[in-house]
């Protein structure tokens, strides 16, 4: 008897269509229940190709000369991109991410758990970007790490002056002799060498697959701690003899690690600022594990430092 739908129920349902679609925009609401005559606007396949490739290659052309390049779009790189894009809409900012999906380790809070913890005062960044959180006193909790990452990502991608090239790996750094010769290192970083990530992964079993290049006077490297991809720039600084050796990331100590990462976010050799967990490999800082406040604020500081260096 409960399943039977009498005339009264049908009338009620019809009367509540507007109620049931409240919250949707009118054009989408009008689609509901109207699928019989549905069809897409016509298109030719080559139009789709051209719509994508024209824009991609125009972006490659424009960003071949960038003002600031960010290597790595994890939580630190994305926070840096947001801050830079907001503070300096006049600068051309290029973000290069090896993975297909930007976000690095920030899609989960820790282990395979959803919630993301940030110690205060990193809540200021969440307020800035518009990510809701629960206030737990000394720390705050975002209900899903993916909410943080997708929100920052959406803000960054919507900025006219920022372009993300994902599935693209930085394979090397472009260097110049340091003109003022003041630093022991003796070089200035002047850009990055890139390749499709899938190509980068096959240098051992394919013959010469030369890379591409992007010039910029300031680079921010946020490639994370050592691993298959991580700590890219600082390891390269050692092999090109610009750093004697790496300190190597130490064991986990949240208390020390987070303060150290923010404090030590800085220009390592002229033109190259390092932030986030990549930094722990230079300084021998502790690992922080599943707490992300230092990543957001290291990104903010890296952006401030990049603007200072750019304006010199
Ligand atoms: O794919 C990498 C990731 O998205 C990207 N990346 C690394 N090498 C690259 C290269 N070219 C282009 N050569 C490259 N992209 O950099 C991103 C790094 O993100 P991440 O989340 O690993 O680093 P983060 O410093 O932003 O955040 C680290 C968060 C922590 S702390 C921690 C621990 O203490 O155990 N573990 C993580 C993941």
pLDDT tens across the length of the chain (312 residues): 345 566 666 666 555 778 888 999 999 999 998 999 999 999 999 999 999 999 999 999 999 999 999 999 999 999 999 999 999 999 999 999 999 999 999 999 999 999 999 999 999 999 999 999 999 999 999 999 999 999 999 999 999 999 999 999 999 999 999 866 555 558 999 999 999 999 999 998 988 899 999 999 999 999 999 976 689 999 999 999 999 999 999 999 999 999 999 999 999 999 999 999 999 999 999 999 999 999 999 999 999 999 999 999
Cα-based distances in Å from 131 to 74, 154, 158, 198: 17, 12, 16, 33
97 is in an annotated binding site: yes
Ligand 1 atom having least distance to the Cα of 78: 26
pLDDT at 13: 59
Q: Residue 32 C-alpha to ligand 1 middle, in angstroms?
A: 42
Angle subtended at Cα 161 by Cα 155 and Cα 162, rounded to the nearest 5 degrees = 55
pTM of the model: 0.93
CA-nearest residue for atom 13, ligand 1, is: 170
Angle subtended at Cα 183 by Cα 271 and Cα 281, rounded to the nearest 5 degrees = 65
The verdict on ipTM greater than 0.90 is: yes
pLDDT at 8: 67
140 is in an annotated binding site: no
Ligand 1 atom having least distance to the Cα of 279: 25
Mutate to test the pocket of ligand 1, among 224, 248, 284 (most ligand atoms within 8 A of CB): 224
Give yes or no for residue 224 CB within 6 A of ligand 1: yes
Mutate to test the pocket of ligand 1, among 69, 70, 71, 72 (most ligand atoms within 8 A of CB): 72
Give yes or no for residue 118 CB within 6 A of ligand 1: no
- 10: phi then psi, degrees, rounded to nearest 5: -60, -45
CA-nearest residue for atom 38, ligand 1, is: 105
Distance CA 156, CA 35 (A): 35
């Amino acid at each position: 008897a409960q399943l039977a739908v009498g005339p009264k129920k049908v009338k009620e349902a019809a009367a509540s269509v507007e109620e049931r679609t409240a919250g949707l925009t009118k054009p989408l609401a009008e689609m509901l229940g109207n699928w019989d005559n549905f069809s897409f606007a016509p298109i030719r396949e080559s139009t789709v190709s051209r719509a994508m490739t024209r824009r991609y290659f125009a972006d490659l052309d424009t960003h071949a000369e960038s003002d600031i390049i960010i290597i790595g779009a994890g939580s630190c790189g994305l926070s840096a991109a947001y801050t830079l894009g907001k503070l300096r809409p006049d600068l051309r900012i290029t973000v290069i991410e090896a993975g297909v999906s930007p976000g690095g380790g920030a899609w989960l809070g820790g282990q395979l758990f959803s919630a993301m913890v940030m110690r205060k005062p990193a809540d200021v960044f969440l307020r800035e970007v518009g990510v809701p959180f629960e206030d737990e006193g000394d720390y705050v909790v975002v209900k899903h790490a993916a909410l943080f990452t997708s929100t920052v990502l959406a803000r960054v991608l919507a900025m006219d002056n920022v372009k993300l090239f994902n599935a693209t790996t930085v394979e090397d750094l472009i260097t110049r002799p340091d003109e003022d010769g003041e630093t022991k290192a003796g070089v200035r970083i002047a850009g990055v060498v890139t390749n499709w990530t899938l190509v980068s992964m096959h240098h051992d079993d394919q013959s010469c697959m030369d890379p591409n290049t992007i010039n910029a006077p300031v680079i921010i490297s946020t490639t994370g701690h050592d691993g298959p991809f991580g700590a890219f720039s600082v390891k390269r600084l050692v092999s090109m003899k610009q750093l004697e050796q790496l300190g190597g990331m130490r064991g986990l100590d949240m208390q020390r690690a987070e303060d150290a990462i923010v404090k030590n976010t800085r220009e390592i050799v002229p033109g190259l600022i390092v932030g986030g967990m990549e930094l722990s490999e230079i300084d021998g800082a502790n690992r922080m594990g599943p707490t992300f406040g230092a990543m957001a604020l290291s990104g903010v500081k890296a952006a401030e430092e990049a603007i200072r260096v750019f304006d010199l």
